[in-house]
Chains A and B, each alone.
Chain A
């Protein structure tokens, strides 16, 4: 890694309702690059983003964003830091009672005192960047899933953040919408120099755009490096995930008692 880390996690431990989700996770997200965080469903990838955003606090360990210790920040400082972050939620999370235009204008209206015509120009510029300038009068309920995400993307970059986090941007998208999103993420990173964090389990798409990837499973980082390094990773677990093999170190079966016992066929041939 040639650039310094924008976000760095050290030995983060986090558990929720008695279940340990992260057990000593350490990773670095380099400035100005796209980092993909991958892992099987249910490993708490979204939780990781919430930890970085300060919505959740780790049980122990340090989370540093742009030189600030996130868990130690006071409310006000945290909100100030969040103005430098954008987050694209899985569902888009557009405000359903506001039009597309107002959704994108929302962070500008709240955080700046810009005059109305300037807000209009910025919003149209951001919508143009995601190719939806023409859809500004629509309500969120009239948008398709892919368009919703693009509007949400325009909204998260409205304040020109330094860090943008994508939560499962490709989940449930048709190939065209996926292609559009891949292109957008790459363009945004290149043109604005954004530090991007991508949480996903879509291996090919993620590996195709990221500079750096890390794989999380069972509360630990099991592999990290550039896409090429990962493809040649010695760990069987990493290979199983990348190639999508149904059985391997991560078993196909959820831990259970002996099948024969469950079916009531003690000693029988199943």
Chain B
């Protein structure tokens, strides 16, 4: 019994110390102004790796999710004879929720795990240590560009996801099921507000991008440099990122759209 309580206590201490380490790690990464001459090419390279390479999965998922929303929305709304509201439904769902959230989940699986594995392997093969010994701070050279790339890439991916999804919904709703195109767009435009809906969605995705990239690079940097350690760090990245995204989504939604 006492041993159980002790192990619970140790778990709590581990969690707190890991949070503390990740906070200090973040401070180390963000401290210091990056040199634009060397930093920019590194950022571009990482944007390519985490952003452009995630584009395909984001576009395909966005298309299908939009199409499913179109189909489901039509079946339900046509019961009430208001299938014209389908545009409004699809746009609000995507822009407010699914765009940022699903993109973040896909990002965690596609780019976050890759970041963790890459950094973990760099640690295991002593590349980070050797960089440190060359007088180069790996936090700034390796970690910072990856963190910023995630931060920048996520909102871009999320808006692309939303647009592709809306287009997919239109494909199903308008072209297949014959909802009048004018009312599709008209309903959408009258109910979607740029600041309250679109920008709030973008803010969400910026927060998610930051959190996902932070978790990914931290897990990679903090992992036990063995193959088992890297694999468990990669798993943790995906699990923690997904949980953080869903939890934060609720908090952000409550703050942005709830009436408190």
Interface residues of A (CB under 8 A from B): 50, 53, 55, 79-80, 82-83, 85-87, 89-91, 93-96, 106-107, 109-111, 152, 155-156, 159
Contact = CB atoms under 8 A, between A and B. Distances in A.
B125 A91 contact: yes
Contact of B126 (A82, A91, A109, A159): A91
Contact of B129 (A55, A85, A95, A111): A55
A79 B125 contact: no
A85 B132 CA distance: 11
B133 A79 contact: no
B129 A82 contact: no
A90 B126 contact: yes
23 contacts: A53-B133, A55-B133, A79-B136, A83-B134, A85-B133, A86-B133, A86-B134, A87-B130, A87-B133, A89-B126, A89-B129, A89-B130, A91-B125, A91-B126, A93-B127, A96-B125, A106-B134, A107-B136, A110-B38, A110-B141, A111-B135, A156-B134, A159-B134
B137 interface: yes
Contact of A79 (B122, B129, B130, B137): B137
Contact of B136 (A55, A87, A91, A110): A110
A87 B133 CA distance: 7
B133 A82 contact: yes
Contact of A82 (B125, B127, B132, B141): B132
B133 A96 contact: no
A93 B135 contact: no
Interface size class of B (residues with CB under 8 A): 10 to 19
Contacts of B134: 82-83, 86, 106-107, 110-111, 155-156, 159
A54 to B, nearest CB: 9
A115 to B, nearest CB: 14
Nearest to A158: B134
Nearest 3 Cβ contacts at the A-B interface: A93-B130, A93-B126, A82-B135
A89 B130 CA distance: 7
A95 B138 CA distance: 12
Nearest to B137: A79
A159 B133 CA distance: 12
Contacts of B135: 79-80, 82-83, 107, 110-111
A79 B130 CA distance: 12
Contacts of B130: 87, 89, 93, 152
Contacts of A110: 38, 134-136, 141
B229 to A, nearest CB: 15
Interface string B114-131: 000000001001110110
Contacts of B126: 89-91, 93
A112 to B, nearest CB: 11
Identify the interface centre among B122, B127, B129, B135: most chain A CB within 10 Å of its CB. Answer: B135
Identify the interface centre among B38, B136, B137: most chain A CB within 10 Å of its CB. Answer: B136
Given A53-B132, A55-B129, A110-B141, 4 more contacts: A94-B127, A107-B136, A110-B135, A152-B130
A118 to B, nearest CB: 17
Interface string B93-133: 00000000000000000000000000000100111011011
Contacts of B136: 79, 107, 110
A21 to B, nearest CB: 17
A50 B132 CA distance: 10
Nearest to A94: B127
B198 to A, nearest CB: 37
A205 B3 CA distance: 51
Contacts of B125: 91, 93, 96
Nearest to B121: A96
Contact of A93 (B38, B129, B137, B141): B129
Identify the interface centre among A50, A80, A95: most chain B CB within 10 Å of its CB. Answer: A95
Given A55-B132, A106-B134, A96 B38 contact: no
A95 B126 CA distance: 9
B197 to A, nearest CB: 40
Contacts of A95: 127
A86 B141 CA distance: 18
Identify the interface centre among B134, B135, B136: most chain A CB within 10 Å of its CB. Answer: B134
